[in-house]
Amino acid sequence: MKTEKMFQIGRIVGSHGLRGEVKVFPLTDFPERFTKKTPILARHESGREIMLHPLSAREHKGTIILQVSEFEEINQTIPWLKSELLIPEEDLMPLPEGRYYLHQIIGLEVFLEDSTHIGTVTDVLQPRANDVYVVHLNENGKKLPIDSKEELLLPVIDDVILSTDLAQHRIIVRLLAGL
């Protein structure tokens, strides 16, 4: 496969029936994407790869039952159990205005409203209420208005995240008392 960046949308966790269907645990907020006829790369933990062409998909007990043209019977599916299902970035589902994929946020530079650079987003935590950006703080010797040693946790709420500019590779934030 090309060296393009690939994103995991699911994992083959089992076979279903005798006619070559696979049971997929979806790792996407858009399970309907499996009904599209867009090819999906299956990458086995051994490193083997195969391009799968979906024919049909349906939800079943928290999984997706996926039929692909490459598997006609159960014995063809067994070597691909535990495979990751991957798609290239251009096949990601479009997000609504103001929503971003995690890979778009990680690495962005974080600035205060007064243009003070405070650090870089290194991770995104996803507790129940809202996402939280983990910001590795700037080490340029400047005294920052933050009582933290190395990292700052920023809740992704409108009062804190003022703007996100992917083109400029930056996030503008307002620090609330207690952060």
SS3 of residue 176 by DSSP: coil
pTM: 0.72
* Domains defined for the chain, CATH in brackets: 6-91 (2.40.30.60), 102-173 (2.30.30.240)
Question: Is residue 66 predicted with pLDDT exceeding 50?
Answer: yes
Rounded distance between C-alpha atoms, residue 73 and residue 176, angstroms: 58
User: Sorting pLDDT into bands at 50, 70 and 90, what band is 99?
Assistant: confident
Share of the chain above pLDDT 90, in %: 70
Confidence at 16, pLDDT banded by 50, 70, 90: very high
What is the structure's pLDDT at 157? 93
Task: State yes or no: pLDDT of 119 exceeds 50.
Answer: yes
Instruction: Name the strands in the sheet holding 84-88, side by side, starting at the edge strand that comes first in the sequence.
Output: 49-52, 40-43, 84-88, 6-16, 21-26, 63-68, 54-60
pLDDT over 70, % of the chain: 91
pLDDT at 142 > cutoff 70 = no
DSSP-assigned beta bridge partners for residue 153: 134
Q: How far is CA 4 from CA 93, 131, 168, in A?
A: 17, 27, 22
Q: What is the mean pLDDT of residues 37-61?
A: 94
Backbone torsions φ then ψ of 34, nearest 5 degrees: -70, -15
> Which tokens in the block code for residue 135?
């910001």
